[in-house]
């Protein structure tokens, strides 16, 4: 068998195993139920999204809360990906199979990302309601969901790095949540003002450019801004590469 | 990505690694006994300030069953992790079936079956599901491979149970089954009988003996009887160094009491004191 095919079969074997894992353990179903209930409730609640009171055929109310729900839920999906392998010793089995570390890492990432994508697909009743009650801007809906998918990937890559560097899933979860909150908050006006006042110079612009929330909002407004899409891809790839390097160093400890 | 086949890689690997021509498996040639399958040269690995493996060198041939003995913490597991490519050595070289495990690790790994210490496996998967995953990851296309290893390791009764529900003995056999699924020419078994009852030990030892004909097997163990029973070569490692590379009968002969246990104690305690 040629090496490139070997690499691909390895990646797809890891991908399939992980994806099945989400549906053969309670974790996957718990995640889905909590995500769907929480996102639905936050969207229509009078205290939060006020979806019905706004009388607008848009899912802005939903998109506003997705980044905050994902802050808790995506690290929960990511935490087991490597910490469990390292704790149980299966990492030794995995890395002595003819699969590169990069292929295993990507296989797991793609499986987690697909699972998160599936959970977003399961929010279809919201879309159906919007279409039933009014005449939504379909462009904004599509870019909004695209933003959600990209955001999920970015959070997952962050969470995976922390799962790679610790054997303790709880530690991985807390660090993952803290890091994603940081990248969300850094783009809020209050944070930007604080950063500008304290550090001055270009730091405010740098913080804004690094902020996940700002790029996400651009997409939910219905704008396909190439810069924002590229930002998400580069952000995700950077965290993936850092995670691979970190895992290679600590895999045997 | 570069398209390379085994035939393309082999001459380069062999030339680069300067392995003797006898070590290269010729395409279509009969599996000749005595061919060098594992070559370890001056292997060194540190964990921080601790030297876990300190200059181990040896060659193992097809047909060899090599027993790695040594006290706990002697460096047996680290040495095996270096041979299987899980760890990269600080210095020195490992080649398996002519493939350098640092430069051409994937090709080497395809030829190794490895049972890590404590036989780790994905607990939530069924035995069959787990073996299917390993077969797919190794690119095994032979549909009968899983059935064959389940028969060989007598796992049929638990084939549909999840791994986490199995007893220690069965878990160990699952670990052996995954190591055998691609019919590798090199088998590395880290304490395959540790924690098993005498009946289970006998089953695993018999399996190893039966497999030894066309393969090169490295077994680490604390049980010195086991070395006498299944191995044709015995190595004693202590504090990362190889103290003895010999055969079990020779070791017994060198012992003052005629027992392998006593020889082991004499030589390993002599060093640590």
Residue A197, pLDDT score = 78
Residue B257, pLDDT score = 80
Question: pLDDT tens digits, residue range B241-251?
Answer: 999 898 988 88
Distance CA B65, CA A12 (A): 35
Chain A CB contacts of B106 under 8 Å are 3, 6-7, 98-100
| pLDDT surpasses 70 at B207 | yes
Residue B270, pLDDT score = 65
Query: Mind telling me how many Å the CA of A58 is from chain B's nearest CA?
Result: 42
Distance CA B124, CA B251 (A): 44
Question: pLDDT tens digits, residue range B161-190?
Answer: 999 999 988 999 999 999 999 999 999 999
More confident residue, A2 or B7: A2
Residues 6+ apart with CB under 8 A from B31: B25, B62, B185, B214
Low-confidence ranges of chain A (pLDDT < 50): 1
Q: Confidence class of residue B6 from pLDDT cuts 50, 70 and 90?
A: very low
Mean local confidence (pLDDT), B44-73:
91
Distance CA B237, CA B76 (A): 7
Residues 6+ apart with CB under 8 A from B263: B251, B252, B254, B255, B256
Are B2 and A4 in contact (CB < 8 Å)?
A: yes
Cα nearest neighbour of B107 on chain A: A98
ipTM of predicted complex: 0.88
Q: Taking the alpha carbons of B226, B229, B230, B231 in that order, is the dihedral positive or negative?
A: positive
Query: Which residues are B43's β-sheet partners?
Result: B56
Count CB neighbours of B210 within 10 A.
10
Query: Mind telling me how many Å the CA of B125 is from chain A's nearest CA?
Result: 8
Taking CB atoms and an 8 Å cut-off, how many pairs form between chains A and B? 83
Residue A83, pLDDT score = 95
More confident residue, B272 or B155: B155
Distances from the Cα of B134 to the Cα of B130, B145, B190, angstroms: 6, 11, 18
Residue B54, pLDDT score = 92
Helix residue ranges per DSSP H, B6-112: 6-17, 76-83, 105-110
Residue A61, pLDDT score = 84
Chain A CB contacts of B133 under 8 Å are 13, 16-17
Chain A CB contacts of B114 under 8 Å are 93, 96
| pLDDT surpasses 60 at B124 | yes
pTM equals 0.87
Nearest to B137 among A24, A90, A99 (CB): A99
Query: Which residues are A164's β-sheet partners?
Result: none
Distance CA A82, CA A91 (A): 8
Residue B3, pLDDT score = 40
Mean model confidence pLDDT for chain B: 84
- Does the beta carbon of B178 lie under 8 angstroms from any beta carbon of chain A? yes
Residue A3, pLDDT score = 54
Query: Which residue, B263, B267, B247, is CA-closest to B255?
Result: B263
Are B120 and A7 in contact (CB < 8 Å)?
A: no
What is the C-alpha end-to-end distance of chain A, expressed in Å?
A: 32
Residues 6+ apart with CB under 8 A from B253: none
Residue B13, pLDDT score = 38
Tell me, what DSSP letter sits at residue B31?
Answer: -
Distance CA B244, CA B234 (A): 8
Chain A CB contacts of B116 under 8 Å are 89, 92-93, 96
Share of chain B above pLDDT 90, in %: 58
Contact A186, A210 (CB under 8 A): yes
Question: pLDDT tens digits, residue range B8-54?
Answer: 344 333 333 333 333 334 333 334 457 899 999 999 999 888 899 99
What is the 3-state secondary structure of chain A?
CCHHHHHHHHHHHHHHHHHHHHHHCHHHHHHHHHHHHHHHHHHHCCCCCCHHHHCCCCCHHHHHHHHHHHHHHHHHHHCHHHHHHHHHCHHHHHCCCCCCHHHHHHHHHHHHHHHHHHHHHCCHHHHHHHHHHCCCCHHHHHHHHHHHHHHHHHHHHHHHHHHHHCCCHHHHHHHHHHHHHHHHHCCCHHHHHHHHHHHCCCHHHHHHHHCHHHHHHHHHCCCCCHHHHHHHHHHHHHHHHHHHHHHHHHCCC
Nearest to B120 among A21, A89, A97 (CB): A89
Cα nearest neighbour of A248 on chain B: B87
Share of chain B above pLDDT 70, in %: 86
Query: Mind telling me how many Å the CA of B3 is from chain A's nearest CA?
Result: 6
Distance CA A120, CA A103 (A): 25
């Amino acid at each position: 068998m040629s090496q490139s095919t070997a690499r691909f079969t390895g990646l797809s074997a890891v991908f399939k195993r992980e994806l099945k894992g989400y549906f053969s353990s309670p974790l996957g179903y718990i995640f889905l139920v909590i995500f769907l209930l929480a996102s639905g409730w936050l969207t229509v609640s009078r205290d939060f999204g006020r979806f019905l009171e706004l009388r607008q055929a848009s899912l802005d109310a939903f998109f506003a809360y997705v980044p905050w729900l994902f802050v808790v839920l995506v690290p929960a999906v990511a935490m087991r990906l490597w910490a469990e392998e390292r704790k149980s010793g299966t990492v030794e089995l995995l890395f002595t199979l003819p699969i590169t570390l990069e292929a295993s890492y990507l296989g797991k990432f793609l499986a987690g990302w697909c699972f998160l994508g599936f959970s977003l697909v399961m929010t279809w009743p919201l879309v159906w309601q919007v279409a039933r009650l009014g005449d939504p801007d379909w462009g904004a809906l599509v870019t909004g969901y695209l933003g959600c998918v990209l955001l999920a990937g970015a959070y997952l890559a962050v969470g995976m790095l922390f799962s790679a560097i610790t054997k303790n899933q709880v530690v991985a979860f807390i660090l993952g949540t803290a890091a994603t909150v940081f990248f969300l908050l850094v783009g809020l006006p209050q944070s930007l003002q604080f950063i500008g006042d304290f550090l001055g110079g270009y730091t405010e612009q740098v913080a804004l450019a690094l902020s996940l929330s700002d790029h996400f909002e651009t997409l939910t407004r219905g704008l396909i801004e190439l810069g924002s899409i590229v930002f998400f891809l580069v952000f995700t790839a950077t965290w993936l590469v850092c995670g691979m390097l970190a895992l290679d160093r600590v895999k045997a400890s | 990505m570069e398209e390379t086949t085994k035939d393309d890689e082999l001459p380069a690997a062999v030339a680069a690694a300067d392995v003797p021509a006898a070590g290269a498996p010729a395409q279509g040639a009969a599996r000749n006994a005595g061919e060098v399958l594992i070559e370890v040269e001056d292997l060194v690995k540190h964990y921080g300030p601790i030297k876990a493996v300190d200059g181990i060198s040896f060659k193992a041939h097809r047909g060899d069953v090599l027993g790695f003995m040594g006290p706990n913490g002697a460096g047996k597991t680290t040495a095996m992790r270096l041979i299987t490519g899980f760890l990269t050595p600080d210095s020195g070289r490992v080649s398996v079936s002519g493939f350098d495990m640092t430069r051409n690790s994937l090709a080497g790994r395809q030829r190794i079956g490895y049972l890590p210490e404590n036989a780790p496996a994905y607990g939530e998967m069924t035995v069959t599901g787990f073996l299917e995953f390993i077969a797919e990851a190794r690119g095994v296309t032979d549909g009968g491979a899983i059935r064959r290893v389940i028969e060989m390791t007598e796992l049929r009764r638990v084939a549909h149970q999840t791994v986490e529900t199995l007893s220690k003995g069965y878990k160990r056999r699952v670990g052996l089954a995954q190591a055998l699924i691609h019919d590798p020419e090199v088998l590395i078994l880290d304490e395959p009988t540790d924690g098993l009852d005498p009946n289970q030990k006998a089953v695993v030892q018999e399996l190893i003996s039966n497999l030894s004909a066309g393969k090169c097997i490295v077994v680490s163990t604390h049980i010195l009887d086991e070395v006498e029973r299944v191995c044709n070569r015995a190595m004693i490692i202590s504090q990362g160094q190889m103290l003895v590379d010999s055969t079990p009968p020779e070791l017994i002969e060198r012992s003052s009491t005629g027992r392998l246990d006593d020889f082991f104690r004499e030589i390993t305690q002599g060093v640590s004191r």
